[in-house]
Structure 1
Amino acid sequence: MLLLRYAGFAVLATLANLATQRLVLLAGDGGTAFALAVGAGTLVGLVVKYLLDKRWIFYDDATGLRAHGRKFTLYTVMGIVTTAVFWGTETAFWIFWKTDVMRELGAVLGLTIGYVIKYNLDRRFVFTDARLGAMS
């Protein structure tokens, strides 16, 4: 059940990410617009995924600015490597095929790989005090 929930939240965050990218890309289609779209989409996806993971994956009930600030910072740091995988895959698909469909396929592939890695990092380093069973 946890695996399905995590996968579902990854899909929701991915959709939020890609929708944000599409909105930004309405303003233009050059390299600058692409970079802004990827950055904005990543930020939106990060916040959506953090909020869902904190509550429904890691059952973390810590509240307050201090707890959120610390955990969100660690959550973001854990995402640096996984974001590089995502950005690299999406960018490679965009450079090679130069179509939105292939760019988004690269994004989905990169995010999928990244989320598997990220779950394990978050479980080990971010939500260390949360009530979490094995992912199954």
Structure 2
Amino acid sequence: MFAGVAIAANLAAQALVFAVYTGPFPLAAALAVGTIVGLVVKFELDRRLIFYAPQQDAAATGATFFFYASTGLITTALFWGTETLVHLASGGAPGSQYVGGFIGLTAGYVLKYQLDKRYVFRG
């Protein structure tokens, strides 16, 4: 359920970028903004409601976030690659990036949970 919230936040942020951004490389801009929004939302949900991490001071939370984001590098590559490939394979059909994004984020979050359980929230 929480992964669904993060996916919705990510894809909504992407939709906002597509709606307002008129510069070069709109897909890359949307991916970057969506990734940042999804990362922050998913971190807070995971930290508080999935792994029940204890309260920490700002420095410790920052360190935890760094490790959390680090495990996300692999899953972000999976998500970006899937979204981009589906979009390109469809010939750039409108909305195709969201289908690819949903598939990539879903697969990435399954993997990310295992990585976070093992390396980030080991308590």
TM range, normalised to the smaller chain? over 0.9
Is 1:13 the counterpart of 2:2 in the alignment? no
Q: Is 1:73 matched up with 2:57?
A: no
Q: 5+ unaligned residues in a row in structure 1: which ranges?
A: 1-7, 130-136
Aligned CA RMSD, in angstroms, stands at 1.4
Q: Distance in 2 between matches of 1:88 and 1:29?
A: 23
Alpha-carbon contact 1:27-1:33 (below 8 Å) kept: no
TM-score by length of 2: 0.93
> What runs of 5+ residues in structure 2 fail to find an aligned partner?
none
AA aligned to 1:37 is A
Counterpart mapping for 1:116-131 below 5 A = 116-129=110-123
| TM-score, normalised by the number of residues in structure 1 | 0.85
Name the CA shift for 1:29/1:110 in 2 (closer, same or farther; >3 Å): farther
Deviation at 1:123, TM superposition (A): 0.4
- Whether 1:54 and 2:54 are equivalent positions in the alignment is no
> Once superposed, which parts of structure 1, at least 4 consecutive aligned residues long, lie more than 6 Å away?
none
* Matching residue of 2:96: 102
